[in-house]
Amino acid sequence: MNYGTKQYFYSVLKRFNDLVVAVPQDSDVVQSEYKYQPILFAPQEFQTFVDYIYFDEKLLENLSKVSKEDVINMWLLSNPKRKNYSNISEMRKDALDNILFFSDDNYDMTHLKEIINASKFSINPISSEHESIIIYMDSEEGVYEWNCLIKIDNKIYLKIDNKYYIK
């Protein structure tokens, strides 16, 4: 993908159940200029995509599974203000250390860390019955909003994009 620039930003296709997910390439995510837009294909969407490009469908049999680390990286890359980091752990620590507060007063860092550190996860479509939760972040330029959480049935989840969340 080049996102309208002269540079290319690589992603890796992986599987989560019947979804095909373009996850960020690990070696690139720590660079501030790395651009990433979550792409999650339902089976029919991916088949339509494959029909329009050259793609050896035998490769689909060998797609690895999306890991928890992959989805956390997808979530971290939704942060609108990122810097260069030496590794992913540093990027995660910086994001968590710069959280000031949440738009939902009943939510705090303990809840967020529980979601991030949970061993099991699933990727789910966002229903129309949800509320956006904003994280207010500190940066060298001042406070900014990171719209990266959703609330469904009084539980808060990490939002991957406007269609999917991590449960």
Sign of the C-alpha dihedral, residues 141, 74, 51, 8? positive
For 95-111, the pLDDT digits (tens) are 999 999 999 999 999 99
Higher-confidence position of 135 and 5? 135
Mean pLDDT value across residues 22-27: 81
Query: Does the pLDDT value for residue 70 go beyond 90?
Result: yes
Q: What are phi and psi for residue 33, nearest 5 degrees? A: -85, -5
What is the C-alpha separation between 94 and 30, in angstroms, rounded? Answer: 11
Query: Residue 112's closest CA among 145, 149, 143?
Result: 149
What is the C-alpha separation between 140 and 160, in angstroms, rounded? Answer: 25
| Domain locations in the chain as residue ranges | 11-166
For 39-62, the pLDDT digits (tens) are 899 989 988 888 887 777 777 778
For 132-149, the pLDDT digits (tens) are 999 999 999 999 999 999
